[in-house]
Amino acid sequence: MGYFDIPVEHVYGQHVILDYLASKTICSDDLVVVSPDIGGVARARAFAKRLSNAPLAIVDKRSHAHNVAEVMNLIGDVKGKIAIMVDDMIDTAGTIAKGAVLLHEEGG
């Protein structure tokens, strides 16, 4: 698969998380799935569809100039909801942590 010269199987963990959330019997009206950046929208949307078609919200990070702090805006409504952020990887955890702060500020 690109970077390897041996056979590689891509193992998805999504069904484990979906089973866990199903075990919590949370009404889908109380959920919102959040993409922590624009690049993850398709992934988060696919996850939301599998979660009883839960609504979607998106964190839009913008930096208006080099070395200027990012401005984070939320597209969608998380107020009073259980927000589930979906991303493909964590490195420094900056993306997911800043996203969580924003969701909290927005009432999620």
Ligand X SMILES: O=P(O)(O)OC[C@H]1O[C@H](OP(=O)(O)OP(=O)(O)O)[C@H](O)[C@@H]1O
Binding site for ligand X (CB under 6 A): 36-40, 87-95
Cβ proximity to ligand X: between 53 and 63 the closer is: 63
Residues 6+ apart with CB under 8 A from 54: 28, 31, 32, 33, 48, 84
Cβ proximity to ligand X: between 94 and 107 the closer is: 94
Q: How far is the CB of 42 from ligand X (least distance, A)?
A: 11
CB-facing half-sphere around the CA of 13: CA atoms within 13 A: 6
Strand partners, 100: none
Q: How far is the CB of 14 from ligand X (least distance, A)?
A: 15
Q: Which residue is nearest to ligand X (CB)?
A: 39
Residue-level length of the chain: 108
* Tokens 């089973």 belong to residue: 19
Q: How far is the CB of 91 from ligand X (least distance, A)?
A: 3
Cβ proximity to ligand X: between 54 and 85 the closer is: 85
